[in-house]
Chains A and B, each alone.
Chain A
Amino acid sequence: MPATGFDDVWVVIPVYNEAAVFASVLADVTGTFGHVCVVDDCSTDGSAAIAQEFAGRGVRLVRHPFNLGQGAALQTGLEYVLGDPLMRRVITFDADGQHHVADAVAMVERLDASGATPAGPAGQASSRPGLDVVLGSRFLGGGKGEMGGAKRLVLKAAIAYTNLVVGMKLTDTHNGLRAMNRRAVAALHITQNGMAHATEILEQVKRANLAYVEHKVKISYSPYAKAKGQSLLNAINILVDLVLR
């Protein structure tokens, strides 16, 4: 287990059939973070077995009995890490290798880990100086996000729509890399099992009056991730899920 100042940090990684890259992702993450919760959404390609191999390096495996979707897996992971009383900060991280641990480190260090007072009538939310949520953004500061024109167009449309629905002004609304403190984790209740959970999380961040900020992150679209990535058609599914709740 790496000796770092991250003993209060949990990394939640939902995984579904990412065996091709998952071992290298876990090797990267466990090189920095000592507490990792992998939620296996009933993979059929041995992703869970890979996670099990990292048990000695702080990886805890939670397995869905059948496939429920990424939103559901995230919520399961969040509930699992809430079971650790020493948890103060959480990172959500994608299993397909598109995120970078260095970004996660920078994001988690921006969080306010002290203000996590679960109980107590003193609701002085406005006086807290720190951040509750740090959202990864591939477009912050004019980044192009390393993707093709068609996909970027769809993503930009989804971002515009989400900002409209949620009432925020974010540069990236569908990024799986997030950091949040315990307060934020406890405030989230993801019910969108599919991909629309990204929007739902933002809605709940807003509703719970959590202090949030975007953080510039690098996304690596390996040929593998490109082949797997959300198709254009999937954007339609996200829209329908959002409208027909």
Chain B
Amino acid sequence: MLIKVVLILAVAVVSLFMLRGHGARRQALRRLGLLAFAAVAVVSIIFPDLLTAVAQKINVGRGADLLLYVLIVVFFSYVASRYVRDRRADQRVTALARRLALSEAPPPRGALPAAGPEPQTGLAGGPTPEAP
């Protein structure tokens, strides 16, 4: 069935697209894709029969079915891109947290700041090392 091939290809392309490439190029492509999505949506609202005609061309029964399939692909692409973006955000947060942790840590050698649990280089309002 043609639709199966089309959908599987779409899923594969979207996955690759989401995992590779970066920067302005990808952002531009994503915006173009969104624009095309909106245009198709408007056209299909004005001419609902058009959607059905296209659906029948690729052996999908009704336009509504085609819409559902496309929606699934779009949703999947959203989840994939979200995953990648979350990972990047995680890495930034990790770097930040690590700098904070290291800046509050005692020096590796030499005596510790005697009784005071507050590290000298600690940031104001940071967590205190002692939590009884």
Contacts and interface: CB of A to CB of B under 8 A. Distances in A.
| A and B assemble together | yes
A75 B102 CA distance: 11
A239 to B, nearest CB: 15
Contacts of B127: 63, 65
B109 A63 contact: no
A52 B129 contact: yes
A76 B102 contact: yes
A62 B102 CA distance: 6
Contacts of A245: 87
Interface stretch (B5-13, B43-51, B52-60, B92-100): B92-100
Contact of A84 (B101, B102, B108): B108
Interface string A37-50: 10100000010110
B108 A80 contact: yes
Contact of B129 (A35, A61, A66, A86): A61
A191 interface: yes
A39 B97 CA distance: 12
Interface in A4-61: 10, 35, 37, 39, 46, 48-49, 52, 55, 60-61
Interface of A: 10, 35, 37, 39, 46, 48-49, 52, 55, 60-66, 68, 72, 75-76, 79-81, 83-84, 86-87, 191, 193, 244-245
